[in-house]
């Protein structure tokens, strides 16, 4: 038997469509500006099937305006909307903001920090995160040793880890001390915990891992835990670095 699509409150569905925040949607509904299948509704909790019901705002089936934001993710937060273990997630950084539904574009693990994107446009996000065509991602990684030229070459040549060839597109020394150093590592593909697993294959401990850029979008001086909206030019620049892939979402 085919499962029925779930129904949610109208304000929640409007927010998930990216038309506005849930608070804004509730106000629009109370003002009588929203119709479901041609019927005016004034209850923000009116049950709606997002997959099959026709929702209009001011008589129009509005396509949500595309929104992309960048966050300087702090260390210790999970890249998830919610966590079964009760750990803090990246959405804690948006708690005081009135934002529509946004999904992470790619991920950073709990111990990693730096540039993390969010968007309400799944097709755009799929282009940016496509493993073979998405823009390069640059990381600064503090390791518990001082590398030599041979090690940097090994990181670019790669290593087999759990049946996968993990490699850096480019690995270079940023600065070094007596016992540790900072590397710049550029990836042209996205695999789970790729940098940590690659370095572990060479018995190298990671002290800090910070994503500093995606394509030509730089983290810059954005404060830890702060976020900002990307301009349309920045959004298009990231998409142009990721040519459209036939049959991609």
Catalytic residues: 109
Element of type H or E holding 113: strand 113-119
User: How would you list the strands of the sheet with 55-57, edge to edge?
Assistant: 39-40, 34-36, 55-57
Secondary structure (DSSP) of 14-52: HHHTTSS-HHHHHHHHHTT-EEETTEE---TT-EE-TTT
Q: Which residues, other chains included, contact 147 with Cβ-Cβ below 8 Å and sequence gap of 6+?
A: 173, 176, 181, 183
Q: How long a stretch of residues is the chain?
A: 249
Q: How many C-beta atoms lie closer than 10 Å to residue 146's C-beta?
A: 13
Cα angle value 242/152/148 (rounded, 5°):
155
Give the 3-state secondary structure of residue 126.
helix
């Amino acid at each position: 038997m085919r499962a029925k699509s779930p129904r949610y409150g109208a304000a929640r569905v409007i927010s998930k469509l990216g038309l506005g925040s849930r608070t804004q949607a509730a106000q629009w509904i109370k003002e009588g500006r929203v119709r479901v299948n041609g019927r005016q509704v004034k209850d923000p909790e009116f049950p709606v099937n997002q997959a099959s019901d026709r929702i209009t705002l001011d008589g129009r089936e509005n396509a949500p305006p595309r929104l992309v934001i960048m966050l300087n993710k702090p260390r210790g937060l999970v890249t998830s909307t919610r966590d079964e273990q009760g750990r803090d997630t990246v959405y804690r950084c948006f708690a005081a903001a009135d934002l529509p539904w946004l999904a992470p574009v790619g991920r950073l693990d709990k111990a990693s920090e730096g540039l993390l994107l969010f968007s309400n446009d799944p097709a755009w996000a799929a282009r940016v995160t496509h493993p073979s065509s998405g823009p390069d991602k640059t990381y600064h990684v503090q390791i518990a040793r001082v590398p030599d030229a041979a090690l940097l070459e090994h990181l670019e040549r790669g290593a087999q880890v759990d049946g996968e060839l993990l490699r850096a597109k480019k690995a270079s020394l940023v600065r070094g001390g007596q016992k540790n150093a900072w590397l710049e590592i550029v990836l042209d593909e996205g695999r789970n915990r790729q940098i940590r697993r690659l370095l572990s294959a060479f018995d190298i401990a990671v002290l800090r891992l910070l994503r500093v850029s995606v394509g030509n979008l730089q983290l810059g001086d954005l404060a830890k835990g702060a976020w900002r909206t990307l301009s349309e030019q920045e959004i298009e620049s990231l998409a142009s670095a990721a040519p459209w892939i036939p049959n991609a979402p």
